[in-house]
Copies of this chain bind each other. A is one copy, B any other.
Amino acid sequence: MKLDDRKWMILQAIIDDYIMTAVPVGSRTLSRKEGMGVSPATIRNEMSDLEELGYLDQPHTSAGRIPSMKAYRLYVDQILRGSPLSQQETARIQTHLNQRTAQIEQVIRRAAQALSDMTQYTALVVAPQMHTMRIVRVQIVQVSPQSALLVVVTDAGLVKDSVIRIPEGMESDHLYSISQMLTEQLTGLTLQEMRQKFSEIFKNLKEHRRLLAGVLDAMEFRMAESETGEMVIDGGVNLLHYPEYADVEKARNFLSVLQAKDKLYPLLRKAGGVEFSIRIGPENDIPELSECSLVTATYKMQNDVHGTLGIIGPTRMNYGRVISVLDYISKAMSDLLSGEN
């Protein structure tokens, strides 16, 4: 099953060429290439072997060969760890990221922009999952007679806020003491655990039931939101530049999948944790994306909380480069998000 050196070289050359051109590559083309000191005929023999081994596919009899999914898999496992980025490129990424990025939401959005800009594929970035974080502080700030801002700070340094309604006639001092109490009671709990605790709190503080119900409601809503909502997609249009999507039908399907964030989300989540994950073609479970590959990496915040960022592109994507870019940006994000906030 192991490929000898020449087979491997030829396979690599085919993949490289196909990544560039998206056109099936034939023996002549290949033999003309630099450093390939053999005739087309020889290459044909080797290609024939490679096809039998399952590394090459032939769209139709009189066309060249294209790499199979198995070939990409091998290639990717071998190649992993792309060449480092040039000074220029890292600089370009930094200008993306360095634009006043205090809030996480912004960091995420900018990272997605940087990713799609640098790779010309479609970028996905998901925020860290909130329910693994622990509450550090809860504060309710009145902003009008009928509304207040609920601020929740977590141990990952994340600040989430939502406007809630409050019963008319609520006094500011009151809100303050309730905030104190909530902070005291909820500190150290995950948002999940918080839910149980709340029923307890409800019993003790009947008179503020309406207010507390609003608070709980808002927190739950935020959690639910972060199950699917906190994902940024950038550069969906990029893929329309590639011949794979010369057909509007396909283009539309692809873009529709991007729209359905709730389907995409589990895919990204699943890859979380490990440093890099590469899923080629049908390896990802969404049928509409069976002609795409998904490459993901992980970024970290404080206290082991982590999020995922990734690239979707055609299976023939430039894996080396994508990995380099993901590597760099994930590190940059981790630095931005854990050092401070």
Residue numbers in B under 8 Å from A240 (CB-CB): 248, 251-252, 255
Interface string of A101-136 (1 = CB under 8 A from B): 011000000000000000000000000000000001
Which of A12-20, A158-166, A304-312 lines the interface with chain B? Answer: A158-166
Query: Closest CB of chain B to A215's CB: distance in Å?
Result: 13
**Contact with A102, one of B100, B144, B163, B245 (Cβ below 8 angstroms):** B163
Q: A residues touching B (Cβ–Cβ < 8 Å)? A: 100, 102-103, 136-137, 139, 141, 143-144, 146-147, 149, 151, 153, 157, 159, 161-165, 221, 236-237, 240-241, 245-248, 251-252, 255-256, 259, 340-341
A153 to B143, CA, bound (A): 7
Are the CB atoms of B162 and A151 closer together than 8 Å?
no
If over half of A's interface residues share one DSSP class (helix, strand or loop), that class is named, otherwise mixed; here it is mixed
Are the CB atoms of A102 and B162 closer together than 8 Å?
yes
Are the CB atoms of B163 and A149 closer together than 8 Å?
no
A81 to B103, CA, bound (A): 44
Are the CB atoms of B147 and A341 closer together than 8 Å?
yes
Given A143-B153, A147-B340, 7 more A-B residue pairs with CB atoms under 8 Å apart are A102-B162, A139-B141, A143-B151, A144-B153, A149-B151, A248-B248, A248-B251
Residue numbers in B under 8 Å from A153 (CB-CB): 143-144
Are the CB atoms of A165 and B246 closer together than 8 Å?
no
Known: A103-B163, A149-B151, A237-B255. A141 touches B144 (CB 8 A): no
Residue numbers in B under 8 Å from A147 (CB-CB): 159, 340-341
Query: Closest CB of chain B to A64's CB: distance in Å?
Result: 24
A164 to B101, CA, bound (A): 10
Query: Closest CB of chain B to A116's CB: distance in Å?
Result: 10
Are the CB atoms of A102 and B165 closer together than 8 Å?
yes
Residue of B nearest to A237 (CB): B255
Are the CB atoms of A139 and B146 closer together than 8 Å?
no
A69 to B151, CA, bound (A): 52
**Contact with A143, one of B137, B162, B236 (Cβ below 8 angstroms):** B137
Query: Closest CB of chain B to A170's CB: distance in Å?
Result: 15
Are the CB atoms of B100 and A221 closer together than 8 Å?
yes
Are the CB atoms of B139 and A143 closer together than 8 Å?
yes
Are the CB atoms of A259 and B245 closer together than 8 Å?
no
Residue of B nearest to A250 (CB): B248
Residue of B nearest to A102 (CB): B163
A120 to B64, CA, bound (A): 42
Residue of B nearest to A161 (CB): B161
Query: Closest CB of chain B to A148's CB: distance in Å?
Result: 10
- 14 chain-A/chain-B pairs, Cβ below 8 angstroms: A136-B144, A137-B144, A143-B151, A144-B153, A146-B340, A149-B161, A163-B341, A165-B340, A237-B255, A237-B256, A237-B259, A240-B251, A241-B252, A248-B251
Residue of B nearest to A236 (CB): B255
